[in-house]
Amino acid sequence: MEAKRLTPATGPRPTSNWIVLWGSLTLLLLLVGLYLALLWAPEEATMGIYQRIFYYHVPAAITAFVAFFINLVASVVYLLRRSRIADAWAVASAEVGVVFLTINLITGPIWAKPIWGIWWTWDARLTLDLVLWVMYVSYLLLRQLTPRGELQPRLAAALACFFFVDVPINYMAIRWWHTQHPQPVIFGGPGSGLAPPMYVALAICWMAFMALGYVLLRLRIEQEMDRHALDDAQRALLLEDVGG
Amino acid sequence: MHSVVAAFAAAWIIHIVYLFTLASRQRELRRALNAVTTQRDVR
């Protein structure tokens, strides 16, 4: 039987150079952000040095929310068009979102302990944050543990549309309810805000996290497309075996 | 001070662990793809 050409598994990839370029830029931004957050930004009056955790805690949350929004859009596109690339974007963005939300959930209690005297409290913001993490971890488990096929991505896409509802409620929680978690300092209305150097440190750290999120997203999407190529190749082999 | 170092270290460790997980998964995938491609080429 004549050999057919399949997806190349070796050799340079078209996106390799792009990843190296973005990866270098991201590393540079992360290092600059680290310097600004730890050494350059002024110390906050009430919380002192502990407030510096803010420069990773907040960008991690925003990046996670952006990733979950991408997951929502990709899931809706998948439900409408059944396109593989939309499904790849959906699973990749959920995974990257969980990584950043994990950072947010770990840095939060580390910050809370010296300031509040407790690691955790079940206020609206913290609870909704944890619920959000559990929901997207369950989304990833669903994708991991159920057989790959037509039904799995459809079910995951439908669930993703419901799960995203938690994101705006989570964002608004500190505006709607009195919480142990501080009231918003960005877009928080009169009396809120940051000193200009603090804004600079926050912006650079956020840009670094967004750039890193983009690199991770692209790598994970490529991986998902490779997985589809492998499924196709294995299916083709199986069909050849059955056909003799 | 310890809390600040712990928070920043935790973030970097999580990123690095995820990157290594991605790289290891990718290696496995490419190995499997290579095996299937070779199998088909042999036929």
Question: What's CA A202's distance to the chain center, in Å?
Answer: 18
Q: What is the mean pLDDT of residues A140-154?
A: 88
Q: What is the mean pLDDT of residues A59-78?
A: 97
Q: Residue A2 above 80 pLDDT?
A: no
Gap between the Cα atoms of A52 and A92, Å rounded: 30
Give ipTM to 2 decimals.
0.91
What's the first-to-final CA gap in chain A, in angstroms? Answer: 10
- Bridge partners, A44 (sequence order): A48
Q: What is the pLDDT of residue A171?
A: 87
Written as one letter, the residue type at A90 is: A
- Residue pLDDT, tens place only, A168-205: 998 888 888 787 777 777 776 676 777 788 899 999 99
- Residue pLDDT, tens place only, B3-42: 999 999 999 999 999 999 999 999 999 999 888 888 777 7
Is A219 in Cβ contact with B40 (below 8 Å)?
A: no
Query: Rounded to a whole number, what is the distance in Å from the CA of B16 to chain A's nearest CA?
Result: 11
Gap between the Cα atoms of B9 and A226, Å rounded: 32
Q: What is the mean pLDDT of residues A213-236?
A: 91
**Crossing angle, helix A84-116 and helix A196-243, to 10 degrees?**
140
Which ranges in B1-43 belong to alpha helices (H)? 2-42
Nearest to A50 among B3, B18, B30 (CB): B3
Q: State the residue for tokens 């510096």.
A: A52
Instruction: Check residues A162 and A241 and name the one with the higher pLDDT.
Output: A162
> With contact defined as beta carbons under 8 Å apart, do A179 and A124 qualify?
yes
Banded model confidence at residue A3, pLDDT cuts 50, 70, 90 = very low
Please give the backbone phi and psi of residue A48, each rounded to the nearest 5 degrees, phi first. Answer: 65, -140
Instruction: Check residues A159 and A13 and name the one with the higher pLDDT.
Output: A159
Query: Rounded to a whole number, what is the distance in Å from the CA of A143 to chain B's nearest CA?
Result: 16
- Residue pLDDT, tens place only, A197-224: 889 999 999 999 999 999 999 999 999 9
Gap between the Cα atoms of B2 and A69, Å rounded: 34
> With contact defined as beta carbons under 8 Å apart, do A9 and B37 qualify?
yes
Question: What's CA A225's distance to the chain center, in Å?
Answer: 19
Gap between the Cα atoms of B30 and A159, Å rounded: 30
Nearest to B4 among A52, A103, A233 (CB): A52
Residues 6+ apart with CB under 8 A from A117: none
Is B39 in Cβ contact with A57 (below 8 Å)?
A: no
Angle at A238 between CA A233 and CA A240, to 5 degrees: 95
Q: What is the pLDDT of residue A15?
A: 60
Q: Which residues in chain B are closer than 8 Å to A107, comparing Cβ atoms? A: 7, 10-11
Residues of A contacting chain B (CB within 8 angstroms) = 1, 3-4, 6-10, 34, 37-38, 49-50, 52-53, 56-57, 60, 99, 102-103, 106-107, 110-111, 113-114, 212, 216, 219-220, 222-223, 226-227, 229-230, 233-234, 236-237, 240
Q: What is the pLDDT of residue B20?
A: 94
Sort A129 into a burial class: Cβ within 10 Å, 0-12 / 13-18 / 19+. Answer: buried
C-alpha to C-alpha distances, A80 to A73, A84, A126, A141, A183, nearest whole angstrom: 11, 12, 34, 23, 39
Looking at chain B, which residue has its C-alpha nearest residue A227?
Answer: B29
Query: Rounded to a whole number, what is the distance in Å from the CA of A53 to chain B's nearest CA?
Result: 6
Looking at chain A, which residue has its C-alpha nearest residue B6?
Answer: A110
Is B3 in Cβ contact with A106 (below 8 Å)?
A: no
The per-residue pLDDT of chain A, averaged, comes to 88
Tokens standing for residue A87: 């499904």
- Residue pLDDT, tens place only, A96-138: 999 999 999 999 999 999 998 999 989 889 999 999 999 999 9
- Residue pLDDT, tens place only, A5-48: 444 445 445 567 888 889 999 999 999 999 999 999 888 888 88
